[in-house]
Amino acid sequence: MANDNSTQQWGSRVGLILAMAGNAVGLGNFLRFPEQAIQNGGGAFIIPYIVCFLLMGIPLLWIEWSMGRFGGKFGHHSTPFILDTMDKKRLWKYFGVFGIFTNLAVAAYYCYVESWTLSYVLHSILGTFIGMNQTQVANFFNTYVTIGKSTFGIPYEAVVFYIICLVINTSILAKGLEGVEKVAKIGMPLLLMFGAFLAVRGLTLGTSGASPAHPTASAWAGLNFLWTPQPGTLANPKVWLAAAGQIFFTLSVGMGTVHCYAAYVKSNDDIALNAVSAGFMNEFVEIVLGSLIVIPIAAGYLGLGWLKHHAGFGIAFQTMPYLFSHWGPFLAAVAGVMWFGLLFFAGITSSLAMGTPWMGFMQDEFNWGRKKSAWSFGAVILILGLPTVFFYNLGVFSEYDYWAGTVSLVVFALAESILFAWIFGMDKGWKEINEGGDIKVPEIYKYIIKFITPLLLLFVFFGSLLKPLNNDWKLAFHNLFTGNGWTLDNSSIIKQVMQSGLREKLAAATDPSIIHHLRQVLFYTGAARILLTATFFGICAMVYVAYVKRVREGRA
Amino acid sequence: MNATALILMITVQVTVTGFTAYFFYRVLTSAPEPDSYAEDKPDEQ
């Protein structure tokens, strides 16, 4: 089909690599990685993490790049019909729906976080955080995400920044790959520069941040905890599951964005080298820069004990501005701009990637123009995203993150690895990976992709589905083999479906205000599920209509 | 920092940096196929 999408191409190879790396480098590199490392034994986490990168991350990148380029040969730029070209069974194109759905649902709440970074850059420049103590900085964030309260004096400030962020994303997407590439070429070098500045500060902080309130605070203690190997914990499936999960999020595999970007690569062009280059660039940002900012700086001022108890997403917004304020007004503003600026660039290069599968689908299947596709993406995100803004404190944001940003990725990656290695066939798949390659992929990866990667993905899927109580696998297996059954944790997929944790809290609550709050959470998370399910089936219906249209036009 | 942690940190970070630099260098020095990228097209240069 001749539309402006079929003539689009990447401007340069470096632009493509930076856009792909930008897609992978996200907020998780700086926020989720340190959190996972802290919660999974520090030094115990790094080794499984690297093993999972080599056995699951890199293979998945090759799978997705080659699937994308293969589909692109037939003029497909989104996963439903990319998967359809690899096997004609009808089912696959509906699995491909995950490659659009996940992006819409994740972009909806991801743009909200992105809008926080934008707002915090402005607040850092204006010196809002100067003179605030730790509690005040933390409360500032709570005020920001409470609709009706304002930090700038703008009514519905969080909504306004969210819409600004959405308009920025959509305007760039309306320029097509050229716009995406331009942002990557500017954003990625800036991100590396900002990250390097903060990492040097983290690495050189030492014990200079200790204070009477935190006399034992030391950046070295944080780095010690992160990097001291603990061989004993390598036998714990919990650590391996966390490491494998982190590889998913950090590389943005299982989303459909890599397929979409790769679909614009010419059929005789390299993907083998491109994929590892973009993958390692992401790892550089995560392992080198990501490990040297939050952990040493937070441990350097507040101590390792505090960090272990408070590791999480919130540190970025609720604590970092307070820590920067120790550096004096000028450096605090510079560090704030750099920290939230790098998070903004990490976020926008990922959210732009999330827009392209929807655009590719609308352009390929319904002949929509680039601008119309981009603005329709913005409109869908606005509808899906506003509930996460308005009901952030009522669990809607977390609900999206869990189902779209966690479970869907694993399901889709598992399906695509089986399709690629076992149905499309490993011989054809191997030929696809190596076609036009500027490097020779080691032969051993043929077997890793066929056997190890799907097995690891099955391990991740069933590990999440059947997560035992308190994530204690040793005890769970002991109980199972001694006839005491398998007790699921409330964070397992099965218990999450039933909202067991929330219902238990509700049953145990006696305070009327807590009961009222929990009932509201139950209602809004239920509504969020309905919205997500409707979105998924809505896309399924669009794929069906597109398929019927193809049959009518003799293109199926 | 203790010696083991320092050794592991330096080893991992140097290795990852090395691989990142090596692969990116290979990207920069490998000649793309003609017409692969818009900026390589003679009429647009």
Q: Which of A26, A39, A113 is nearest to A307 (CA)?
A: A39
Going A34 to A40 to A43 to A46, the CA torsion angle's sign is: negative
Helices (H) and strands (E) in chain A, counts: 30, 0
pLDDT category at B40 given cuts 50, 70, 90 is low
Given a contact cutoff of 8 angstroms between Cβ atoms, the answer to whether A92 and A135 are in contact is: no
Looking at residue B44, its pLDDT comes to 45
Looking at residue A44, its pLDDT comes to 79
Given a contact cutoff of 8 angstroms between Cβ atoms, the answer to whether A117 and A351 are in contact is: no
Residue of chain A nearest B17, judged by CA positions: A284
Given a contact cutoff of 8 angstroms between Cβ atoms, the answer to whether A365 and A546 are in contact is: yes
How far does the CA of residue A436 sit from the closest CA of chain B (Å)?
9
Q: Which domain holds residue A250?
A: 13-465+499-509
Q: A304 Cβ partners below 8 Å, 6+ apart?
A: A216, A218, A221, A222, A225
DSSP A488: B
Q: Which of A39, A294, A509 is nearest to A49 (CA)?
A: A39
User: What is the C-alpha separation between A58 and A282, in angstroms, rounded?
Assistant: 11
Question: A9-40: per-residue pLDDT in tens?
Answer: 999 999 999 999 999 999 889 988 988 888 88
Q: Which of A502, A537, A535 is nearest to A109 (CA)?
A: A535
Going A94 to A88 to A376 to A16, the CA torsion angle's sign is: positive
Given a contact cutoff of 8 angstroms between Cβ atoms, the answer to whether A29 and A285 are in contact is: yes
DSSP A54: I
Count the domains in chain A: 1
Domain membership of residue A482 (yes or no) is no
Q: A332 Cβ partners below 8 Å, 6+ apart?
A: A124, A127, A129, A130, A321, A324, A325, A326
**Rounded to 5°, angle at Cα A499 from A497 and A503:** 160
Domain membership of residue A429 (yes or no) is yes
Chain A neighbors of B6, CB-CB under 8 A: 227
What pTM value is reported for the model?
Answer: 0.94
Given a contact cutoff of 8 angstroms between Cβ atoms, the answer to whether A56 and A453 are in contact is: yes
Residue of chain A nearest B28, judged by CA positions: A14
Chain B neighbors of A281, CB-CB under 8 A: 20, 24
Tens digit of pLDDT per residue, chain A (556 long)?
Answer: 445 677 789 999 999 999 999 999 998 899 889 888 888 878 878 889 999 999 999 999 999 999 999 999 999 999 999 999 999 898 999 999 999 999 999 999 999 999 999 999 999 999 999 999 999 999 999 999 988 777 777 778 899 999 999 999 999 999 999 999 999 999 999 999 999 999 999 999 999 999 999 999 999 999 999 898 887 778 888 899 899 989 988 999 999 999 999 999 998 899 999 999 999 999 999 999 999 999 999 999 999 999 988 887 889 999 999 999 999 999 999 999 999 999 999 999 999 999 999 999 999 999 999 999 999 999 999 999 999 999 999 999 999 999 998 899 999 999 999 999 999 999 999 999 999 999 999 999 999 999 999 999 999 999 999 999 999 999 999 999 999 999 999 999 999 999 999 999 999 999 999 999 999 999 999 999 999 999 999 999 999 999 999 999 988 7
Q: CA–CA distance from A556 to each of A80, A91, A365 (Å)?
A: 13, 14, 12
Domain membership of residue A553 (yes or no) is no
Are residues A228 and B4, on separate chains, in Cβ contact within 8 Å? yes
Helix (H) or strand (E) holding A48: helix A43-52
Domain membership of residue A517 (yes or no) is no
Tokens of A51: 């093993």
Domain membership of residue A282 (yes or no) is yes
Question: Residues 14-43, chain B: which have Cβ within 8 Å of A?
Answer: 16-17, 19-20, 23-24, 26-28, 30, 32-33, 35-40
Q: What is the ipTM of this complex?
A: 0.91
Q: What are B8's strand-pairing partners?
A: none
End-to-end, the C-alpha distance of chain B in Å comes to 53
Phi, psi of A468 (to 5 degrees): -75, 165
Domain membership of residue A233 (yes or no) is yes
Instruction: Assess whether pLDDT exceeds 80 at residue B45.
Output: no
User: What is the C-alpha separation between A366 and A452, in angstroms, rounded?
Assistant: 39
User: What is the C-alpha separation between A103 and A395, in angstroms, rounded?
Assistant: 20
Q: Indicate the residue type of A508.
A: A
Domain membership of residue A359 (yes or no) is yes
Domain membership of residue A483 (yes or no) is no
Q: CA–CA distance from A403 to each of A358, A411, A449, A464, A525 (Å)?
A: 19, 11, 26, 12, 11
Helices (H) and strands (E) in chain B, counts: 1, 0
Given a contact cutoff of 8 angstroms between Cβ atoms, the answer to whether A486 and A493 are in contact is: no
Which among A180, A267, A284, A440 is the top mutation candidate for probing chain B, defined by the most B β-carbons within 10 Å of its own β-carbon?
A284
User: What is the C-alpha separation between A480 and A10, in angstroms, rounded?
Assistant: 54
CATH number, domain with residue A227: 1.10.4160
User: What is the C-alpha separation between A439 and A280, in angstroms, rounded?
Assistant: 15
b/e code A276-292 from CB counts within 10 Å (16+ = b): bbbbbbbbbbbbbbbbb
Given a contact cutoff of 8 angstroms between Cβ atoms, the answer to whether A408 and A100 are in contact is: no
User: What is the C-alpha separation between A152 and A521, in angstroms, rounded?
Assistant: 28
Q: Which of A455, A258, A493, A473 is nearest to A357 (CA)?
A: A258
Are residues A277 and B24, on separate chains, in Cβ contact within 8 Å? yes
Which among B11, B15, B16, B25 is the top mutation candidate for probing chain A, defined by the most A β-carbons within 10 Å of its own β-carbon?
B16
